[in-house]
């Protein structure tokens, strides 16, 4: 065997009476499927002031977001450090600093988005909240 070839063993375990639910198909535009609490939830996103927030943030008649996702995303928290449990993903670390839970949403086309989930069941795209306070820096040569 060539010393540069790595072998991988994939082990599939079947548990009696357990089957993983399949991801919902045919989602609306700006909707993501998020696996939470042992089932998929559909999260419809809406743009507001450079943030992508879940539609449940917009229940008031004045069309302004009223949810933890917005309230916390507009506050500036300290920059995430590499000692975080989410090394390599500053948006997930930032989500945790905001008091949320980092989750992943999947669109119809399979693209994934990092989301931050809060106790009032609201969501914000994690990278949007992060870049709101820590913008991407332009690197010039």
Q: Determine how many CB atoms are found less than 10 A away from the CB of residue 11.
A: 4
SS3 call for 90: helix
Contact assessment for residue 73 and residue 60, using Cβ atoms and an 8 Å cutoff? no
Q: How far apart are CA 57 and CA 65, in angstroms?
A: 5
Specify whether the CB–CB gap between 101 and 122 falls below 8 A. Answer: no
Give the residue-averaged pLDDT of 45-71: 94
Digit-coded pLDDT (tens) for 120-136: 999 999 999 999 999 88
Q: If pLDDT is split at 50, 70 and 90, which confidence band does 3 have?
A: very low
Q: What is the DSSP string of 35-84?
A: EETTEEEEEEEEEETTEEEEGGG--STT----SHHHHHHTS--PPPPTTS
Span 61-114, pLDDT tens digits: 888 999 999 999 999 998 877 666 666 788 999 999 999 999 999 999 999 999
Check residue 89 and give its pLDDT. Answer: 86
**Confidence (pTM):** 0.79
> Mean pLDDT lowest for which of 7-16, 49-58, 95-104?
7-16
How would residue 16 be classed by pLDDT, with cut points 50, 70 and 90? Answer: low
| CA pair distance 64, 133, nearest whole angstrom | 20
């Amino acid at each position: 065997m060539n010393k540069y070839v790595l072998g991988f063993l994939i082990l599939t375990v079947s548990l009696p009476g357990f089957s993983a639910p399949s991801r919902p198909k045919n989602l609306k535009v700006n909707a993501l499927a998020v696996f939470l609490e042992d089932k998929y939830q559909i999260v419809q996103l809406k743009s507001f002031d450079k943030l992508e927030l879940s539609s449940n943030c917009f229940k008031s008649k004045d069309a302004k977001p009223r949810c933890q996702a917005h309230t916390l995303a507009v506050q500036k928290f300290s920059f995430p450090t590499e000692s975080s449990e989410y090394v390599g993903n500053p948006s997930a670390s930032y989500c945790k600093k905001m008091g949320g839970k980092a989750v992943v949403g999947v669109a119809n086309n399979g693209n994934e988005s990092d989301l931050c989930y809060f106790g009032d069941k609201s969501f914000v795209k994690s990278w949007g909240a992060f870049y709101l306070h820590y913008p991407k820096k332009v690197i010039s040569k």
